[in-house]
């Protein structure tokens, strides 16, 4: 559990987003603390990606405020602290002239001024990120020749190479096979447990990662925050949220502790 005086990584207050009078998000307030592993679920069109885009400063909220590491969005400059893996992560241009190592190195670019060269330390960080994602043997391969799962791991390695404090993933499983997805979920759990990496993860596979996450946000115009994910996903709220009958598939079950808000 987070300590009360800790500055949250994201502090969202009364956030709303309207497009031509259509409400996409309404009065969302939430906080994300260090070392949390938060899953965001909700129906397509419910505003999950919009919320992430506002957290990243890509969309301006109609009302409300987002603070990053205690700073206003306009004052925040340390973007390397945030690693982002977009929805299209595995759908790269097949002809793009980049090796896996070229891609992972991009994670170091923002830490340098234009006048400094990559150092040995950068090389080590890039090496470690590829090792963590188990793609060291692919480093000379062209990104377009990899499978969906391998590309996905390369994208996460790129995000990790910036030494972020939070990893944000927006349903990066498009075009990725089931076996690779399982491996991917294990990697995320390991990053969170062993390296205390904060993770914010938009997913539909809530049943599979239920045992790993610390909190669950459900987004469908409004946000519901659940401090005991297992309790939420075992109730019928999921079906209500998605507006149809839903089935949950969970790997195994064990008890969680924590407060319950929902």
Partner 1 sequence: MLEMLSYEFMQRAFIAGLLIATLASISGTFIVLKRYSLMGETLAHSSLVGVAVGLVAGYNPLWVAVIFAVLSSWLIEYLRSSFALYSDAILSIMLSGSLALAVIIVSLGGAFNNSLFSYLFGSILSVSSDDLVTIILFGSLSLGLLLLFNRELFFICYDEEVAKISGIKVKFLNFLLVTIVAIIIALSIRIVGSLLIGALMVIPTAAALQFRVGFKRSMLISLAFALFSVLFGMTTSYYFSLPSGATIVISVIALFVISLIINKK
Interface ranges with partner 1 (CB under 8 A) = 56-58, 77-80, 82, 84, 86, 95-99, 101-103, 105-107, 109-110, 112, 114-115, 142, 144-145, 162
Shortest Å distance, C-beta 109 to partner 1: 5
**CA distance readout (Å), 249 to 38, 156, 157, 252:** 18, 25, 28, 9
Shortest Å distance, C-beta 152 to partner 1: 14
Whichever of 74 and 95 has its CB closer to partner 1, that residue is 95
CA distance 60 to 258: 33
Shortest Å distance, C-beta 110 to partner 1: 4
Rounded to the nearest 5 degrees, what angle is found at the Cα of 206, between the Cα atoms of 201 and 209? Answer: 75
CA distance 96 to 80: 24
Whichever of 74 and 260 has its CB closer to partner 1, that residue is 74
- Helix crossing, 120-132 with 148-161: angle to 10°? 140
Shortest Å distance, C-beta 159 to partner 1: 8
Whichever of 159 and 216 has its CB closer to partner 1, that residue is 159
Shortest Å distance, C-beta 230 to partner 1: 32
Whichever of 43 and 57 has its CB closer to partner 1, that residue is 57
Return phi, psi of residue 120, to 5°.
-65, -35
| DSSP 8-state assignment for residue 219 | E
Whichever of 83 and 229 has its CB closer to partner 1, that residue is 83
CB 70 within 8 A of CB 64: no
């Amino acid at each position: 559990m987070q300590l009360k005086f800790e500055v949250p990584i994201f502090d969202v207050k009364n956030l709303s987003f309207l497009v031509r009078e259509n409400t996409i998000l309404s009065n969302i307030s939430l906080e994300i603390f260090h070392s949390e592993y938060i899953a965001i679920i909700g129906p397509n069109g419910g505003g999950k990606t919009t919320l992430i885009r506002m957290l990243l400063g890509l969309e301006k909220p109609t009302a409300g405020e987002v603070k990053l590491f205690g700073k206003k969005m306009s004052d925040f400059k340390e973007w390397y602290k945030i690693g982002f893996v977009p929805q299209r992560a595995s759908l790269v241009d097949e002809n793009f002239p980049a090796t896996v190592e070229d891609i992972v190195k991009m994670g170091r670019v923002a830490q340098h001024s234009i006048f400094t060269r990559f150092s040995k330390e950068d090389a080590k960080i890039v090496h470690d990120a590829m090792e963590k994602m188990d793609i060291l043997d692919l480093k000379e391969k062209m990104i377009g020749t990899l499978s969906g799962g391998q590309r996905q791991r390369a994208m996460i390695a790129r995000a990790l190479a910036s030494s972020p404090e939070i990893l944000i993933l927006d349903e990066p499983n498009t075009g990725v096979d089931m076996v690779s997805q399982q491996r991917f979920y294990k990697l995320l759990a390991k990053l969170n447990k062993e390296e205390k990496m904060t993770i914010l993860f938009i997913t539909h596979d809530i049943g599979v990662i239920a045992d790993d996450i610390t909190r669950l946000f459900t987004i469908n115009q409004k946000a519901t925050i659940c401090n005991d994910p297992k309790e939420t996903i075992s109730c019928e709220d999921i079906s209500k949220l998605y507006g149809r009958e839903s089935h949950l598939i969970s790997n195994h079950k064990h008890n969680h502790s924590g407060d319950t808000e929902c």
